Amino acid sequence: MNERNERIHGVACTFRKPSDVYHAAEKVRDAGWKQWDVHTPFPIHGMDQAMGLPRSPVPRLTLLGGVTGFLTGCLLTWYTNSADYPIVVGGKPFWSVIYPFPVLYECTILFAAFGTFFGQFIFNRLPRHHHPLFDHPQFARVSDDTFMIVLEATDPNFHVDESRNFLQSLGGQEITIVRD
Amino acid sequence: MSATPASLPAHWKKFLFAGLAALAVVWFFAFQGATHGDHRGPLSVILGALFWVATLIGLLMLTMITRVFDAGWAPVIRRTWELALPALPIVLLLSVVPMALIPKFRHLLWEWTNAEHLLPSGHAVGHDPILQAKSWFLNESFFLARIAYYVVFFAVLVWALRRGSFAQDTDRTAGHTHRLHAISAAGIPLAAVSLTMLAFDCLMALSYHWFSTMYGVWFFALSIRLALAFTVIATYRLSNGGWLDGILNQAHRHVLGCLMLAFTVFWAYISFSQYFLIYTANIPEETYWYNIREFDPVTGARNQWWGVSMYLIFGFFLLPFLSLLFYRTKIVAGRLLAVASIIFVGGLVDLWFNAVPRQINAAGAPEGFVVSPFLTAYLAVDVLAVLGFGALVVAVLLRAAGRHETIPVHDPRILESINYHE
């Protein structure tokens, strides 16, 4: 059983209507699933709540990047203008928080953008060049007229036959096993 | 009577009488001050009025901006703005207009209108070359004409925006939405120029030597911040036993919170860049304005205004900015209300910072003048003026709510707005 599970990515199941997949998602959520996903041709409003998805953790890395950027800007302007090569410009102090402020907030924005961009790479587990679902014959249709729920084998709830029956009870149309 | 679910509109007369009573006291102090040649009394009227003029201009701009962008979230909230808007010309008529028309007040507040007024240097205003160079703009007849123009312009714009919106409630045609879209597209640039001139005349011209081309943008940023804070506070009340009960949802709060965050940053950006350019260029004609807001001209010791400036940086920018970065602050009603209250108070502090400090002639002082202090008993009159004009605004809002639909029931986007989600 274990050997087979390792080669299985999960169980996929198609739905015809947005409302069907929406209510099915609520039931999967309530059954305590964590490793699973819903694929739809267009965004379905409220799907985040129906799936019980938490907010993205990316903003934390944005904040971290912003703070890092601000401090980097402070260090850069202080070291170059005050420590390494002090020079009087317009009678202003060698270093204060006022004159280099454009540098400080530009660095804040730049590093916050880095935090956001690379943060989403990390949390989306990118780069990734292939996914088992791409081999699924029905998968192309979820960008056209089909909705799909995939229960993944990595979830502790996963068991091939039980999961298949579970999806059937949710009103799924075509249920297939997706192999890695 | 209207179909309003709550009895709030019935209270409009209480607010009217409370507001008029408060303003009677404020005007009494203005007369008392003016009789003794003290400009600070009349300034309380200007401060209290400008606080609400800024708020209402912000609401006006938000009304037009959401029209132009066809904002799907806006209609249910925009109707509350439209109900409050007629207060804008009313507040102007009860404050800036009499202050500018009555010479006694005009000469005290706007020193440049009094040619005999002596400057700290000992010269009369009439012989001031700086004023002479600006006299094509800063002359009394043009000034009074501009004040009249603000009242008429804003009254007409408010009337046009309300008329179409209310007409749609009864005749149910989408054409009003298209016409209001066009009116708003034309109204935004016109209102932008008008609010800039109004900020020049009512605030910047209080110290006529100083000038900043950023001033109109600063006033716009302040206006929108105050308007959003007012919206959050008003909708909080109206969604707890008012006409937005059961209508206002988390997504509406979220969008208001996001806008508050954006305009907090925008206000800081504008205020700082104004300071930064003057600091860098270091021209005495401009720097004196910030100098008197920081230190004593003779000893160089920090004066009371230094503390006020620090409050603006940390209390009016950093605290709301850092709080609003967090998603929970934008969706939890109580937290959003707290941040909006901080912004509302900070708006008054910003007006104090901009309008109050001035060089007052003092015979014994080494430089010939002292800087008017921050801490005076007039602060209480300022607060009373803010409350008085505020009560008038609420009275206008409630009275209108009793006579019109409190949400635009036949707006083409009304369903989208009620069901708005993140």
Residue B309 has pLDDT above 80, yes or no: yes
pLDDT in tens, A91-147: 899 999 999 999 999 999 999 999 999 999 999 989 998 899 998 888 999 999 999
Predicted local distance difference test score (pLDDT) of residue B108: 95
Spell out the residues 6+ positions from residue B325 whose beta carbon is closer than 8 angstroms to its own. Answer: A63, B261
Task: Check pLDDT > 50 for residue B396.
Answer: yes
What pLDDT score does B120 carry? 83
Q: Tell me, yes or no, whether B415 lies in a domain.
A: no
Q: DSSP label at A40?
A: -
| Token representation of residue B24 | 């009677």
Kindly state whether B28 is in contact with chain A, defined as any CB-CB distance less than 8 angstroms: no
H/E run at residue A14? strand A8-15
Q: Is residue B75 part of a domain?
A: yes
pLDDT surpassing 80 at residue B237: yes
In degrees, rounded to 5, the angle at the alpha carbon of residue B43 between the alpha carbons of residues B25 and B209 is 175
Residues of A in contact with B279 (CB under 8 A): 98-99
Is residue B303 pLDDT above 60, yes or no?
Answer: yes
Residues 131-170 of A with CB under 8 A from B: none
Helix B333-355 to helix B378-403 angle (10° resolution) is 130
Contacts of B276 in chain A (CB under 8 A): 98, 101-102
For residue A92, what is the nearest residue in chain B, using CA coordinates? B280
Q: Per the CB < 8 Å rule, is B327 touching A46?
A: no
What pLDDT was estimated at residue B122?
A: 82
Given a cut of 70, whether residue B6 has pLDDT beyond it is: no
Q: What is the pLDDT of residue A1?
A: 44
Select from B422, B335, B389, B394 the least CA-distant residue to B11. Answer: B394
User: B325 contacts in A (CB within 8 Å)?
Assistant: 63
Q: What is the pLDDT of residues B354-387, one digit of tens each?
A: 999 998 888 888 888 889 999 999 999 999 999 9
Structural domain containing residue B290: 25-408
Instruction: Kindly state whether residue B12 falls inside one of the protein's structural domains.
Output: no
Q: What is this model's ipTM?
A: 0.85
pLDDT of the residue at B1: 39
Average pLDDT, chain B: 95
CA distances from B186 to B13, B191, B261 (A): 35, 9, 27
- Contact (CB, 8 A) for B60 and B91: no
The token pair at A52 is 């019980």
pLDDT (tens digit, 9 = 90+) per residue, B138-189?
A: 999 999 999 999 999 999 999 999 999 999 999 999 999 999 999 999 999 9
In chain A, what are the domains? 9-41+145-179 (3.30.70), 58-123 (no CATH)
pLDDT at residue A5 is higher than 80: no
* Domain count of the fold of chain B: 1
